Amino acid sequence: MRITVSGLPGSGTTSLARYLADILGTDLISAGEVFRQMAQEHGMELAEFGRLAESDPSFDRQIDERQKEIALAHDTIVVEGRLSGWFVPEADLKIWLYASPECRVTRIQTRDIIQNPGAAAQLTRERESCEAVRYKSYYGIDIGDMSPYHIVLNSERFLVEELGTIVCSAIGIIRHRS
């Protein structure tokens, strides 16, 4: 079973994807981790690397194409990334995670160890704006369009284990129908 997990920065996609991959005993491919690694390899902060990617579509295309290639090479995999629901149309289950901007900024501030809450909020807004422009420009995708997703879950409301229980229930239903 191919499962995609998407959402805005700080919505918990990586946490849920790791949890699902672990309980399902399957591989995980994460676009965010690849993007962070590429930023680090270029000696840049995420926002700075995002601006570079905005001017050079090859970065996004490399991540997106590689993610799709890996997903299609596996019958069972969890694919995590902002656009994975769009780029893996063959996925059996496509999940979008939602959390309020305040919640996501707090998570990002903690995860990325940003001392100033205002700076974390500004970086988050810049990253989201930059990504939205790139996705629309490169692919014609409106990141706010939920139409490819089978399930939209509020990650602010539920713990990762609870989200996992909901998703596993959906997986059981899908398997039962097959």
Domains recognised in the chain with CATH numbers: 2-166 (3.40.50.300)
Residue 27: what pLDDT?
Answer: 94
For the chain, report the end-to-end CA distance as a whole number of angstroms: 11
pLDDT level of residue 170 (50, 70, 90 thresholds): very high
Query: What is the pTM (predicted TM-score) of this model?
Result: 0.86
Question: Radius of gyration of the chain from Cα atoms?
Answer: 16
Q: Bridge partners of 77?
A: 2, 27
22 pLDDT higher than 90: yes
The 10s digit of each residue's pLDDT in 41-86 is 889 888 788 788 778 888 878 878 878 888 899 999 999 999 999 9
Residue 115: what pLDDT?
Answer: 80
SS (H, E, C) 23-84: HHCCEEEEHHHHHHHHHHHCCCCHHHHHHHHHHCCHHHHHHHHHHHHHHHCCCCEEEECCCH
Mean pLDDT of 31-45: 83
The 10s digit of each residue's pLDDT in 123-147 is 888 889 988 988 898 899 999 999 9
- The tokens for 126 are 């810049």
